Chain A
């Protein structure tokens, strides 16, 4: 009967909506719980430093490499385009502002998602299925305090730093192409950057990196905590963490870009 078909699909749609909303709710509650635990001492310094080392320092090589090439590509394309309109002097600001406002935080965040976000989701997922998280709980040691809070803090600390590294390396990548290959004077390149890049741009990049750092670690912890069964579950949690974090980063980048000055 067509009537029941319509009803069924409405019901399915409704169920999908409710499921999606409650998943979103759980996702939000997870962060609120973490914030509550972060606010109550003692703060686990050693675990936090280990996480910063893992999320931040261990991501450095990939950030250096991608940052350099991103800057080089920007320098190359900027040079080719601006030469047509005869304003190649502005290639420095083009490279610098694009990096500092957009590409530094976004690409650094995407690289960290792939490198550390996936590993964190897998690690926490394995801890869940091998009952290590339950072991913490029954030792009266809250896993939020010992696992989640240090990881979130590490994201908040590491991402702005990594984004800045990305920016600086990228600007030098642009310098290599424009000055060393195209023969522009280095005074023009850096001088124009100094003239056009202002602290507002740097703040925009900072806020974005901060938000992305939270998103990456929040998604990874949540997906690891709510892992399914066995190796397959861990695999799925890892994939979902990477996909969800990447999508959120790009979506939030747009909204932050339009809200921030």
Chain B
């Protein structure tokens, strides 16, 4: 475990129920500053729901999400926006604005927030695009570029505001193994460069073990195990073993 007195993100007893389905049944997790935490778990197991709680997009039935000393769950309006301004988010499908060009997409958050002088906007957006290797693609629309490129643009858009906390929701879904590795490589490289705290939801196993600082296994609505990639891979816990070796549930291990 990374020993840190004050976690960047502390999740405590998070419960969420949708109708009769209890998706989160008491999630507890600490993420240390500048840590790259990867949450893995079954498809439909609540990983994205957990992430949406961290972003304040969904209110839990019970529990707390403390980011930088503030409980996101109870914040509203401008106070919540002030915390969100420190966030960078890469959504599953990229969530690029399809009415805007690639460059305008990257430009959008910094232009609208008006934190930096107008003259610096364009160079900054161009630089962010260049960082993800798409310096030449600025004039294209999201519909005109490939899925892998869209994810890169989404990463550039998330990082252009120089966020302190970055959330990535399955940034490699639907990509071929080479692209998966290139996106992972990019995340690691940018993480090294900017030192943000990162929470990434993924089901790229085993690739994820090469980049994560720690891995949390979400199982049946709780964090079943958390540890370094080595610890998780070497775990003797049957649930973890079953999951990371992709074995079918009912088969005896």
Interface residues of A (CB under 8 A from B): 127, 130-132, 134-135, 137-142
> At the interface with chain A, which of B22-30, B79-87, B190-198?
B79-87
Chain B residues in 8 Å Cβ range of A134: 52, 55, 57, 91, 95
Among residues of A, the one whose C-beta sits closest to the C-beta of B114 is: A42
Q: Is the CB of A140 within 8 A of B95?
A: no
Q: Is the CB of A139 within 8 A of B109?
A: yes
B251 at the interface (CB under 8 A from A): no
Q: Is the CB of A131 within 8 A of B92?
A: yes
Q: Is the CB of A138 within 8 A of B112?
A: no
Chain B residues in 8 Å Cβ range of A139: 84, 89, 108-109, 112-113, 161
In the complex, 14 of the A-B residue pairs with CB atoms within 8 angstroms, ordered by the A residue number, are: A130-B95, A132-B95, A132-B97, A132-B98, A134-B57, A135-B91, A138-B55, A138-B56, A138-B57, A138-B84, A139-B84, A139-B109, A140-B84, A141-B113
CA distance A141 to B93 in the complex (A): 19
CA distance A134 to B96 in the complex (A): 11
Q: Is the CB of B93 within 8 A of A130?
A: yes
Q: Which of A135, A138, A141, A142 has the most CB of B within 10 A?
A: A138
B171 CB to nearest A CB, Å: 13
Contact digits for B44-83, partner A, Cβ 8 Å, 1 yes 0 no: 0000000010011100000000000000000000000110
Chain A residues in 8 Å Cβ range of B93: 130-131
Q: Is the CB of B89 within 8 A of A135?
A: yes
Q: Is the CB of B87 within 8 A of A138?
A: yes
Q: Is the CB of B55 within 8 A of A140?
A: no
B237 CB to nearest A CB, Å: 33
Among residues of A, the one whose C-beta sits closest to the C-beta of B87 is: A138
CA distance A24 to B112 in the complex (A): 33
Q: Which residue of A127, A130, A137, A140 is within 8 Å of B85 (Cβ)?
A: A140
Q: Is the CB of B89 within 8 A of A138?
A: yes
Q: Is the CB of A135 within 8 A of B95?
A: yes
CA distance A134 to B55 in the complex (A): 9
Contact digits for B112-138, partner A, Cβ 8 Å, 1 yes 0 no: 110000000000000000000000000
CA distance A131 to B48 in the complex (A): 12
CA distance A131 to B98 in the complex (A): 11
Q: Is the CB of B82 within 8 A of A140?
A: yes
CA distance A66 to B81 in the complex (A): 46
A-B pairs with lowest CB-CB distance, top 9: A140-B81, A131-B95, A135-B95, A140-B84, A131-B91, A138-B89, A140-B85, A139-B109, A138-B55
B123 CB to nearest A CB, Å: 20
A157 CB to nearest B CB, Å: 20
